[in-house]
Amino acid sequence: MTSSAHRLVLWDIDQTLIDLRGAGRGWYRQVLEEVTGVAMTQMPDFFGRTERAITAEVLTRHGIEPTEELIRKMWAALTAVSELALPELAKRGLALPGAATALAGVAEAGAVQSLVTGNLREVAWHKLSAFGLHTHLDFEIGGYGDLSAYRPDLVAYAVDRAHAALGRPFEPASVIVVGDTPHDIDAARAHGAVAVGVATGRFDSEALREAGAQVVLRDLSDTKLVLSAVFG
């Protein structure tokens, strides 16, 4: 039988743990022009999507073939821009209510924590370290946005990485995916994982429940509720 502490918790970042007030859109605008010389005129939907999906759509919308070489040039530029922005991120945005205590509480209870995020790994590190939210997360086993345009692939990858790194399997019922969009919920359900919705983003509690979340939290400010969602 799986012990209560044998849990793999996979967190989303944007609008779940932090709010950077649209910084990513500005970065894409800057990077598109730097890499291709084309000014951005159309902005795709970012919510819950992976970097691979977003980058390909940005290029396609501007009449540019999204070759793998060009996508990776865009990613290298995004990483550089986010690193340059690092000193100002905490001033521009904020850690969402309860994020730090939720991460600390889940760690203290013994769960393994990592990420399933549309961000690139380096960008994820920049965003979370700016707010001191990186210390309880294992970045080595995360599922990141360069892997696939299909978000459920990121969950499967993170679970496999955790198994390989830690030498023990995580059955679907022991995997908890926490996020603020229906894409996060869909990714959890596709893997058979527990889907925890957090209504701190664009989607309200009803939308997250309709997407299939087993648990929906208003935010992360009540650590007891977060722990109940993870270990209950």
Same domain for 105 and 45?
A: no
- In a domain, residue 2? The reply is no
- Our count of domains for the chain comes to 2
The CATH number of whichever domain residue 41 belongs to comes to 1.10.150
Q: Are residues 99 and 170 in the same domain?
A: yes
**Are residues 138 and 51 part of one domain?**
no
What is the DSSP annotation of 32-85? HHHHHSPPP------TT--HHHHHHHHHHHTT----HHHHHHHHHHHHHHHHHH
Instruction: Tell which phi-psi region holds residue 192, choosing left (phi > 0), alpha (psi between -120 and 50) or beta.
Output: left
| One domain, residues 30 and 80 | yes
* pTM confidence score: 0.97
- Residue 1 within any structural domain of the chain: no
Same domain, 108 and 54: no
**Please, are residues 177 and 48 in contact by the beta-carbon 8 Å criterion?**
no
Mind listing the pLDDT tens digit of every residue in the chain (232 residues)?
A: 345 569 999 999 999 999 999 999 999 999 999 999 999 999 999 999 999 999 999 999 999 999 999 999 999 999 999 999 999 999 999 999 999 999 999 999 999 999 999 999 999 999 999 999 999 999 999 999 999 999 999 999 999 999 999 999 999 999 999 999 999 999 999 999 999 999 999 999 999 999 999 999 999 999 999 999 999 8
Q: Based on the domain organization, do 184 and 205 belong to the same domain? A: yes
Q: Which domain holds residue 43?
A: 23-89
Q: Are residues 150 and 77 in the same domain?
A: no
The domain boundary residue, chosen from 32, 67, 89: 89
CA 224/CA 63 separation, integer angstroms: 49
Nearest to 186 by CA among 207, 204, 162, 163: 207
